[in-house]
Amino acid sequence: MKARIDQIKNELHTQSYKLTPQREATVEVLLENEEDHLSAEDVYLLVKEKAPEIGLATVYRTLELLNELEIVDKINFGDGVSRYDLRKEGANHSHHHLVCIQCGSVSEIEEDLLGDVERKVEEEWIFKIKDHRLTFHGICSRCQTEQGTEAETPSLKAAR
Ligand SMILES: [Zn+2]
Ligand SMILES: [Zn+2]
Ligand SMILES: [Zn+2]
């Protein structure tokens, strides 16, 4: 994690920003919760544990700055809440998300997978792709397994 913080520090530095203690605390929280997709408020509550003097506005501004610098991606899973997602190390584009419509779980696909699609779009629409947001909505493997066992129950079958 230290290495990743140093790397982000460098990125900020090249863009002539400083990694202030508030910014560092925010980045730490994002790193510690890399698997989660936290809202600004979630980040704020966690940063507050490290830096009690910090305000929501500061956290919000920091997240927006990190987003502008493409260190963090701002995503929305359709629930009206903006979430902040740390970009994977060395990734040029945002990773993809699988959102389960039953349990709400979110998993990530780190591999871009879109090479062919991107090439086609760039050629046919003469459009230079900088990034993309791809969210799949469906039923996660755990929910599918649970459904599978339920479907075998005769009473449930009869009810349908
Ligand atoms: Zn993600
Ligand atoms: Zn891509
Ligand atoms: Zn699920």
Ligand 2 centroid to residue 49 C-alpha, Å: 36
Please report, rounded to a whole number, the percentage of residues in the chain having pLDDT higher than 90: 76
Distance of CA 9 from the midpoint of ligand 3 (Å): 37
Tell me the CA–centroid distance for residue 131 and ligand 2, in Å. 6
What residues pair up with 109 in beta bridges, in sequence order?
96
Backbone angles phi, psi at 136, to 5 degrees: -95, 135
* Start and end residues for every CATH 3.30.1490.190 domain found in the chain: 93-160
**CATH 3.30.1490.190 applies to domain 93-160:** yes
Domain limits, CATH 1.10.10.10, in the chain: 1-90
pTM of the full predicted structure? Answer: 0.80
Alpha carbons 68 and 85: distance in angstroms, whole number: 13
- Calculate how far, in angstroms, residue 98's C-alpha sits from the geometric centre of ligand 1: 9
pLDDT digits (tens, 9 = 90+) for 39-71: 999 999 999 999 999 999 999 999 999 999 989
Please indicate if the annotation marks 37 as binding a ligand: no
Question: For the domain bounded by 1-90, which CATH number is listed?
Answer: 1.10.10.10
